[in-house]
Chain A
Amino acid sequence: MLDLNTSLHRTRTLVRELAITDFKLKYQGLALGYLWSLAKPLMLFTVLYFVFTRLIRLGDSVQNYALYLLLGVVLWSYFFESTTVAMMSVVERRDLIRKVYFPRIVIPIATSITSLITLGLNLLVVFVFVAVTGIGFRITLPLLILLLVELYVLSLGFSLLLAALYVKFRDLRPIWEVGLQLLFYATPIIYPLTIVPKRFAGLMALSPIAQIIEDSRKLLVSPHALSTVDYVQWPLALIPYIIPPAVLVLGYWYFESTAAQFAEEL
């Protein structure tokens, strides 16, 4: 029991130190390092906003389109960033793995925490936006934490799976990025689910990312936003909530069953 305790303590220390290191390395040398972490999603937001309000006028049909879009982009960017960075985390730490023993799972977990910090910073901007536009916060706002937990679980599950697979398959990166590209357009990020024809919307609503984004819009932007339950019958509506823990279990199982071989395969 004591052994388990010390090893847990050691794992926690290591996760923290690695996360701190990642964070310092990511932003050091940039005087406005923290602002830089905001720049990427904000740039994407700005471009999309311009295109879909000035050129294509898709946003006209949606109330508070700017906030709609910003929230979608911020949550999506987190999923994109955290999974692609974590995918390469194990391979990038190969020096460490070949020379020291420690629970290998520490590496993708540390990376996921670094990404989580960035998400937190980005959400601060969203909150400022909510305050400035005068939409105001509703009493249901704390429920957002549950959605963020769901998003974290989903991202961590994919991160573990991808990090372990990437050790064996080094061409996974372009494959995953193309997959994400498709998913980006199949997810209601630049458009609300309401403008999608009903028969497609039902299918799209089964994706946990779509559900998370739509549900957070419901909490933060407009209570009239539709979510999965509005499109799918109730037992099926559970699907997007089941996928994240299922992916985490799968990812954890696969990572742990291959971790002992990492030192030899890297």
Chain B
Amino acid sequence: MAAEVAVAVNGLTKVFKIPLEQRTRLRDHVVHLFRSPGHRRLEALKDVSLEIRRGEFFGIIGRNGSGKSTLLKILAGIYQPTQGKVKISGRLSPFIELGVGFNPELTARDNIFLNGAILGLDRKQVATQFDEILGFAELEDFVDQKLKNFSSGMLVRLAFSVAIRAHAEILLIDEVLAVGDFEFQQKCFNVFRQLKAEGRTIIFVSHDLSAISEFSNRVMVIDHGVVRGVYPPDEAIGEYHRLVEARIEPSFASPAQSGAEVPSVRAVGMFSNGAGPTHLVHRGNAATVRVSMVNPRRVPVNVGVAIYRSDGLYCFGTNTFISETPPPPEEQVEFEVHFSDVDLLRGSYYLLVGIFGEKVATVYEMKERAYEFRVDQNDDYEGAVFLPHTWRIRS
């Protein structure tokens, strides 16, 4: 049925003409009246076609500069397609970034009305939801403060809180969760679950692969403006990793020549009851972190793996030195850290992988955010970790 398609994109191509010289003044145009400025053509999107069904949570992943933001801006109507057609059925929320149009010189109250108007809400609609907006953002005590006195976390909370009131059938979300503290991120994820349950169509662009894999029905992988394919989440993430690794590969081809003689991390993966790498672990399940590394000079090393929560909380760290399993002095080493129980609680986490000299004093490589994953749970325990416990009643 045609009505089931929320977004249809057909043969979409976007070319940016980047002038080789800047002509932003009338003078420049007069001086160079008979010489047209050269242009460099930048093809941001090449023949992109896709269909997004109503009620679908559609993820888009790709490296920086792959064209995913350009695609979103064309869907939003901000950029015009060079070729091809875009058909949107249903009201689209016209925001790409949060807090657009916020004015630091105005109070939170004024900004809520202004931002609401930008998102398509009139004064009455904002007024009836005003308390909810403030409540969700936890900013009741700051209504009449100017925004310039707000912290970045407060701004994000306020912006997100207004944005979710826009009664759009189709939502475009671009990297909104990169900021904000942990507690609030959880609240945002809850809103996503709710929106998904309400049958809204959500198009979500993110680098947070764990969030992508948890929420998306289908995920599109895009690279250099070309659609690589639309897959189920785990396959898409696999494809994405292949893309990223394919790009890294050449620099490892001849480590001796490129001067990369120091030990370095080649790949990081996480596995949990399944064959392929995963970005989702259930609390209490086993999980394995696999790290492969190259060590051209076969120097003695100490390899560390640490788990951080997305807000930066250092949860756990281990290394080959303290666990007394020094890696063998070979050019290529692959090893695993096996966790028999992942007792972390629901949230987003990332791994930091480091290669040090024998006693941490020398740092060969520190790979921050080497791998991202989410932990989910079936119960409602709260906090950072699950501590095995029992309750006893002593009346």
Contact = CB atoms under 8 A, between A and B. Distances in A.
B26 interface: yes
A14 B126 CA distance: 13
B48 interface: no
Contacts of A261: 80
B26 A172 contact: yes
Give the size range of A's interface with the partner.
20 to 34
A100 B121 CA distance: 14
Tell me whether chain A's interface is mostly helix, strand or loop, or mixed: helix
A14 B106 contact: no
SS of B interface (majority): loop
A153 B329 CA distance: 82
Interface string B84-114: 0000000000111100110101100010011
A163 to B, nearest CB: 15
Given A21-B114, A24-B106, A169 B100 contact: no
Contact of B25 (A17, A171, A260): A171
Contacts, number: 76
A101 B94 contact: yes
Contact of B100 (A25, A95, A168): A95
Interface in A1-51: 9-10, 13-14, 16-18, 20-21, 24-25, 28
Given A169-B26, A171-B27, A10 B105 contact: no
B95 to A, nearest CB: 6
A55 interface: no
- Chain B CB count within 10 A is highest, among A17, A102, A175, A263, for A17
B123 interface: yes
B148 to A, nearest CB: 12
Contacts of A175: 26
A101 B121 CA distance: 14
A17 B122 CA distance: 9
Contacts of A28: 105
Contact of B118 (A9, A14, A260): A14
Q: Could you say which interface size class chain B belongs to?
A: 20 to 34
B314 to A, nearest CB: 35
Interface stretch (B71-79, B266-274, B331-339, B366-374): B71-79
B93 to A, nearest CB: 10
A101 B100 CA distance: 11
A169 B118 contact: no
Interface string B168-206: 000000000000000000000000000000000000000
B120 interface: yes
Interface of B: 16, 24-27, 29, 73, 76-80, 94-97, 100-101, 103, 105-106, 110, 113-114, 116-123
Interface of A: 9-10, 13-14, 16-18, 20-21, 24-25, 28, 95-102, 168-172, 175, 260-261, 263-264
Closest 5 CB pairs of A and B: A101-B77, A17-B117, A171-B25, A169-B26, A13-B122
